[in-house]
Amino acid sequence: MLSVDQARDRASDIVARAIRAGADAADAVYAGDASTEVSVRLGVLEDVGRSESEALGLRVFVGQRSASVALSDWAADTVSAMVERAVAMAREAPEDPWAGLAPQDRLMHGAPPALDLDDGGDVAPDALKARALAAEDAARAVPGVTNSEGAGASAGRSIMALATSHGFAAAYAKSSHGVSASVLAGSGDGMERDYDYHSARHLRHLEDAATVGQRAGERAVARVNPGRLASGIKSIVFDPRVGAGLIGHLVGAIAGSAIARKTSFLLHALGSEVFAPGITIRDDPHRPHGLRSRPFDGEGLPVSPLALVEGGVLRTWLLDSASARQLGLEPTGHAARGISGAPGVGTSNLYLEPGATPRETLIGEIDDGVYVTELIGMGVNLVTGDYSRGASGFRIEKGEITSPVSEFTIAGNLKDMFRALAPANDLDFRYGINVPTLRIDGMTVASG
């Protein structure tokens, strides 16, 4: 895998080649990755895997026509042929009045911000095996756990570089470490599965493997012998593991492409109150060693912390350059890139600020409700906001979480759900999108 400087220079070189070949403008993305994964099951090593990949994506413009190619072969003849092919393809592509590079005067200049994303990511397979075994041993030691689907540990490092023909070239590295366990409890047809995992940029921040494993075992045991719910209108409490998905639906609804196509249930909501007045949702790309931190966006624009929702009011769309041009607005630094194709939009370390209410109080006020720990299916319509998901979790009876329940559906409309959403005060930064425990009253529950 190339170094950070080599990756930046490789992307810059292919952009220069494209301009010499006749492109009016071009950008290139380099992505390199190397990782090691170890998995165990029932105390025995099951697999050791090592993956390494490098790829380069080139996008060229001829007027308002564009084309993209991707390659992983760095031979001079191959690179030259791919550059020529990309330019030839662009000349034959349909015109797109919104396509183009990011505004030159908005590009990031100077050194990228130091976000402490890379510790080298190099961990010996023996150490990974020990970590995976520790997670599984702790999970299997929980009384009631009867089988294991396995545990794993991983370590890796990746490098991303971006270069454009109008003055941007930068790269950065990030490491990753992870540990997980998945076990079963119960027997026969009554077996239940659950899991836990943790990820971190730095090994020193990775949660203790035994803690992860024990939590996986306890979750599986708690789900044994689930009952059925009576259908009706109930209060729903979302565990943070699944509550983050609600904020993910917000991201999809305020993406610039959805607004430009007029396919969002929040189409006319900018500047209006879409959540309760106390709700604030922030995106922070500069969080040190954050799982989704980044020094610049997928078009070379600087990124900065931003409130998507503040005091319940929707403050911004998420715009790359193309959707910004289409809407007559400025890009927001949320462009996200893959190796091929045009940029889309994406957030970084997105989180919903905690409320003032303890989790116990949030739940303690509910006479008849459900604590949801798993959601199933993709029954969400971002055009209308209609929401319907299969779920499992636990009854809430007279303010207490009691017995497990499964095979039910929760339904509502995201407009109503957002306005009714109430957060607890237990926010913990563990995932790419983080939320505290969330409560929504008045949802429809249908028993399976």
pLDDT for 406-426, tens place per residue?
Answer: 999 999 999 999 999 999 999
What are the two backbone dihedrals, phi and then psi, of residue 223, each rounded to the nearest 5 degrees?
A: -90, -5
Q: Is the pTM of this model over 0.85?
A: yes
First to last CA, the chain: 51
Confidence (pLDDT) at 253? 98
Region 80-97 average pLDDT: 95
pLDDT at 122 over 90: no
Sequence ranges of the domains in the chain: 4-221, 226-448
Q: How confident is the model at residue 441 (pLDDT cuts 50, 70, 90)?
A: very high
Strand partners of residue 389: 410
Confidence (pLDDT) at 75? 85
Region 213-235 average pLDDT: 96
Region 278-285 average pLDDT: 97
Percent of the chain with pLDDT over 90: 93
pLDDT at 258 over 90: yes
Confidence (pLDDT) at 169? 97
pLDDT at 448 over 80: no
pLDDT at 135 over 90: yes
Q: What does DSSP say about strands 232-238 and 368-376: parallel, antiparallel, or unpaired?
A: parallel
Confidence (pLDDT) at 393? 97
CATH number assigned to the domain covering 4-221:
3.30.2290.10
Percent of the chain with pLDDT over 70: 100
H-helix or E-strand containing 186? none
Confidence (pLDDT) at 285? 97
Q: Are 405 and 413 in contact (CB under 8 A)?
A: no
Alpha-carbon distance of 322 to 253, in angstroms, equals 17
What are the two backbone dihedrals, phi and then psi, of residue 91, each rounded to the nearest 5 degrees?
A: -60, -25
pLDDT at 315 over 90: yes
Q: What single string gives the DSSP state of each residue in 325-384?
A: HHHTS---S-EE--SSS--EE--SSEEEPP-SB-HHHHHHT-SEEEEEEEEES--B-TTT
Q: How confident is the model at residue 112 (pLDDT cuts 50, 70, 90)?
A: confident
Alpha-carbon distance of 392 to 241, in angstroms, equals 13
Strand partners of residue 376: 390
pLDDT at 79 over 80: yes
pLDDT for 16-56, tens place per residue?
Answer: 999 999 999 999 999 999 999 999 999 999 999 999 999 99
> What's the full length of the chain, in residues?
448
pLDDT for 383-405, tens place per residue?
Answer: 999 999 999 999 999 999 999 99
pLDDT at 378 over 90: no
Contacts with 432 (C-beta within 8 Å, 6 or more apart), sequence order: 244, 291, 292, 349, 350
Average pLDDT, the chain: 96
